């Protein structure tokens, strides 16, 4: 069973398609990294799943049920754009309102639990308007975590967080998926952070899903490359191109792709009269893979 | 993953859903100053109106009294649908004008803060929202009616004007107006759902309808006819100091009918359009 299954979903605003014939599959228990440029349709898709927007066409299923099913929707937690809290009310009051809304019985205990998860147990009485951006994001997460949701939808939750905040957020998400199997759909521009936690990826462009893959598939597609420096970069580049298919100069280094043996490259260049002064083996990460994919699509 | 397989999706009953959403609204109502400010405003209005009765002119001569009896500040002697002077118009019906502004602020904050996203994420049924807001705002307006009554009585005691009244008629008038709170609250909820992206327009439209100007206009043209009781303002006027049991039945029927209509229309709009 999939936590989210979307088929041929479309949504337009004044004739312009924000989401266009989108298909999406999010497995249960996964952390699904939803990637795309600004205006690619990530937030619109998330709002459609949450029922904030009405689709023009298509089908959305959550845990095998229609997304409008009251039983499944009460188990969805979301942080989209902002925490959705009343600024004049305290953190505790905001959480209490959401706990009442969800019909949680042991509300005080549940509020304490989620505040502890987001490490804000000592700040419950602070007014929401007095909180920093990082705190507001964490309160938004706490709101979404109330009642142990089966599906958590997070739109750019690590925006504006410092390094420490990002780590806290990362730990929270990994913990909830492991502890009770919550499925997380998370969109973010910070691909390096996403890479550390995501088990699946979906790449959206101009409202269309251009690729869905698991972290394992991503790993297998990740290309190995060797970056090196010599005293004559231009000469070395032309010699390397004679032997290897994929060589280019980038960021002041020569990059040789898809060659496992570093020694082989060094030997080859030495025989041609070039001395390698610096060399290291690299792997293409999510960010580079994404940029490469986008540039291919652009062409 | 074992726990994952145990996740169950039980559809909440209508009662549980409404209890949840109504609980949020009432919690918010009692934990923010808005409710108490409007309760205070409701008490001040009759006090000011009655105080004007004892005012003197620029040369010290007594001005024409606005009311000769305290209860005229609560309801008119007879139902007058057209405009026949401020003394016939300025009574407990004014609660519905200020109540409209209160509803606009209350619902407007839902959208302004973004909290409405939480509500609509977890509540798929849009009628839950309409019902909950209508009931919460009706409760507030009913409280404002009671506050208005106390404000009027205290001001009457201080100015020492007459309290003579038929208690039965008075009770029917007050109860009738309290019953009308539900219809008015659902109208304002509906208006705020339509103009949810335009806070200023929401307040202006609530104020416009709250004054009853449309019914007053029609009443001035077609005359003082009970046909106008089919409208919220008409029935609110009908709940006057000559009210009886029939008045209460009329108010109940009109208030419930309009509440039903506005909840259905509001739910339909929310279902068919983007909510945030």
Backbone dihedral region of A226: left (phi > 0), alpha (psi from -120 to 50 degrees) or beta? beta
Cβ–Cβ below 8 Å for A80 and B117:
yes
Q: Which residues of B touch A150 (CB under 8 A)?
A: 7, 9
**A109's tokens:** 């205990």
Quote the pLDDT of residue A271.
92
pLDDT for position A299? 55
Chain A residue set in contact with B, beta carbons under 8 Å: 28-29, 47, 50-54, 63, 65, 67-78, 80-89, 93, 96-98, 100-103, 143, 150, 179-181
Question: ipTM exceeding 0.90?
Answer: no
Q: What are phi and psi of A257, to 5 degrees?
A: -90, 150
- β partners of residue A152: A77, A184
In this structure, are residues B249 and B178 in contact, taking their beta carbons and an 8 Å threshold? no
Instruction: Tell me how far apart the alpha carbons of residues B124 and B121 are, in angstroms, rounded to a whole number.
Output: 7
pLDDT at B197 over 60: yes
* Higher pLDDT, residue B51 or A266: A266
β-bridge mates for residue A36, sequence order = A204
Q: B interface mutation test: which of A84, A91, A154, A177 has the most B CBs within 10 A?
A: A84
Chain A positions touching B17 (Cβ under 8 A) are 70
Contact A63 B10 (CB under 8 A): no
The edge-to-edge listing of strands for the beta sheet with A183-187 is A76-79, A151-155, A183-187, A31-36, A200-205, A208-214
Q: What is the pLDDT of residue B56?
A: 63
Into which CATH architecture does domain A2-213 fall?
A: 3-Layer(aba) Sandwich (3.40)
pLDDT confidence tier of residue B60, bands split at 50, 70 and 90? low
Report whether pLDDT(B145) > 90: yes
Residue B109, pLDDT score: 93
Structure tokens belonging to residue A218: 């991503």
pTM (2 d.p.): 0.86
Quickly state the pLDDT bin for B200 (edges 50, 70, 90).
very high
Say if domain A223-283 classifies as CATH 3.30.200. Answer: no
Which carries the bigger pLDDT value, residue B66 or residue A269? A269
Q: Is residue A49 within 8 Å of A3, Cβ to Cβ?
A: no
CB-closest option in B12, B116, B276 to A74:
B12
Q: What is the mean predicted confidence (pLDDT) over B66-92?
A: 87
Q: Does residue B216 register a pLDDT over 70?
A: yes
What is the per-residue pLDDT for A117? 87
Is B16 in contact with A103 (Cβ distance < 8 A)?
A: yes
pLDDT at residue B263 tops 70: yes
Alpha helices in A102-248 (DSSP H): 107-117, 133-145, 163-180, 191-197, 215-221, 233-243
Contact residues, chain B, for A104 at CB < 8 Å: none
Domain boundaries, chain B: 22-53+74-272
Chain B residues close to A87, C-beta within 8 Å = 113
Q: Which of A72, A82, A100 sits opposite B20 (nearest CB)?
A: A100
Nearest to B122 among A47, A54, A101 (CB): A101
Q: What is the mean pLDDT of each run of 10 residues along chain A (299 residues)?
A: 95 94 95 91 96 96 94 93 92 96 94 91 94 89 92 87 82 84 89 87 93 86 84 92 88 86 90 91 77 68
| Mean predicted lDDT score pLDDT of chain B | 91
**Residue pointed to by tokens 């597609």:** A221
Tens digit of each residue's pLDDT (9 = 90 or more) over A174-228: 888 888 789 999 998 778 888 889 999 999 999 999 999 998 888 777 777 899 9
* Residue B108 confidence (pLDDT) above 70: yes
Determine, for residues A98 and B12 on separate chains, whether the beta-carbon distance falls below 8 Å: no
Q: How far apart are CA A191 and CA A288, in angstroms?
A: 9
**CA distances in angstroms from A195 to A33, A35, A173, A201, B1, listed in the order given:** 8, 11, 13, 9, 22
Share of chain B above pLDDT 90, in %: 76
For the segment B239-268, the average pLDDT, to the nearest whole number, is: 97
Give Cβ neighbours of residue A232 (< 8 Å, ≥ 6 apart). A274
Element (H, E) at A36: strand A31-36
Q: Is B21 on the interface with A (CB under 8 A)?
A: yes
* Residue-range domain boundaries for chain A: 2-213, 223-283
User: Cα–Cα distance between B14 and B235 in angstroms, integer?
Assistant: 30
Q: Do B276 and A180 touch (CB under 8 A)?
A: no
Structure-token match 């994404």, residue found = A290
């Amino acid at each position: 069973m999939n936590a989210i299954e979307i088929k041929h979903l479309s949504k337009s605003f004044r004739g312009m398609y924000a989401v266009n014939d989108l298909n999406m599959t999010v497995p249960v228990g996964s952390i699904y990294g939803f990637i795309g440029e600004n205006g690619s349709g990530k937030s619109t898709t998330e709002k459609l799943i949450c029922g904030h927007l009405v689709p023009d066409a298509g089908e959305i299923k959550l845990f095998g049920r229609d997304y409008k099913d009251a039983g499944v929707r009460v188990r969805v937690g979301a942080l989209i754009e902002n925490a959705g809290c009343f600024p004049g009310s305290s953190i505790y009051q905001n959480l209490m309102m959401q706990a009442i809304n969800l019909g949680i019985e042991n509300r005080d205990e549940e509020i304490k639990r989620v505040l502890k998860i987001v490490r804000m147990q000592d700040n419950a009485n602070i007014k929401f308007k007095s909180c920093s951006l990082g705190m507001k994001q964490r309160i938004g997460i706490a709101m979404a975590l109330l009642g142990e949701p089966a599906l958590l939808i997070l739109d750019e939750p690590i925006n504006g967080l410092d390094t420490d905040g990002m780590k806290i957020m990362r730990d929270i998400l990994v913990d909830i998926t492991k502890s009770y199997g919550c499925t997380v759909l998370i969109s973010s521009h910070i691909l390096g952070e996403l890479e550390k936690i995501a088990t699946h990826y979906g790449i959206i462009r101009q409202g269309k899903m251009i690729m869905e893959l698991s972290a394992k598939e991503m790993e297998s597609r990740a290309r190995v490359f060797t970056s090196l420096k010599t005293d004559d970069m231009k000469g070395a580049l032309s010699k390397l191109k004679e032997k290897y298919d994929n060589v280019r100069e980038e960021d002041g280094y020569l990059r040789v792709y898809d060659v496992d043996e570093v020694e082989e490259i060094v030997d080859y260049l030495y025989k041609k009269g070039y001395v390698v002064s610096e060399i290291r083996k690299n792997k293409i990460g999510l960010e580079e893979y994404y940029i490469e994919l986008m540039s291919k699509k652009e062409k | 993953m074992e726990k994952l397989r145990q996740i169950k999706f039980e559809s909440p009953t209508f009662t549980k859903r409404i209890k949840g959403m109504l609980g949020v609204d009432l919690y918010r109502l009692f934990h923010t100053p808005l409710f108490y400010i409007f309760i205070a405003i409701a008490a001040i209005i009759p006090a000011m109106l009655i105080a004007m009765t004892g005012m003197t002119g620029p040369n010290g001569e007594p001005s024409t009294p606005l009311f000769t009896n305290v209860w005229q500040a609560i309801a008119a002697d007879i139902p007058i649908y057209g405009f026949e002077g401020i003394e016939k118009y300025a009574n407990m019906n004014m609660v519905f004008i200020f109540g409209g502004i209160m509803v606009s602020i209350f619902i407007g904050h839902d959208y302004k803060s973004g909290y409405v996203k939480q509500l609509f994420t977890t509540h798929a049924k849009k009628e839950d929202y309409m019902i909950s807001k209508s009931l919460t705002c009706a409760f507030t307006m009913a409280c404002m009616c009671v506050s208005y009554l106390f404000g009027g009585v205290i001001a009457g005691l201080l100015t020492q004007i007459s309290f003579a009244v038929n208690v039965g008629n008075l009770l029917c008038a007050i109860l009738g107006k309290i019953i009308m709170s539900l219809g008015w609250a659902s109208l304002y909820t509906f208006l705020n759902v339509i103009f949810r992206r335009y806070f200023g327009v929401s307040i202006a439209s609530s104020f416009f309808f709250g004054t009853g100007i449309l019914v007053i206009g029609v009443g001035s043209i077609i005359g003082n006819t009970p046909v106008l009781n089919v409208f919220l303002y008409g029935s609110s006027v009908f709940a006057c100091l000559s009210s009886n049991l029939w008045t209460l039945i009329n108010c109940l029927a009109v208030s419930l009918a309009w509440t039903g209509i506005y909840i259905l229309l509001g739910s339909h709009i929310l279902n068919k359009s983007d909510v945030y």
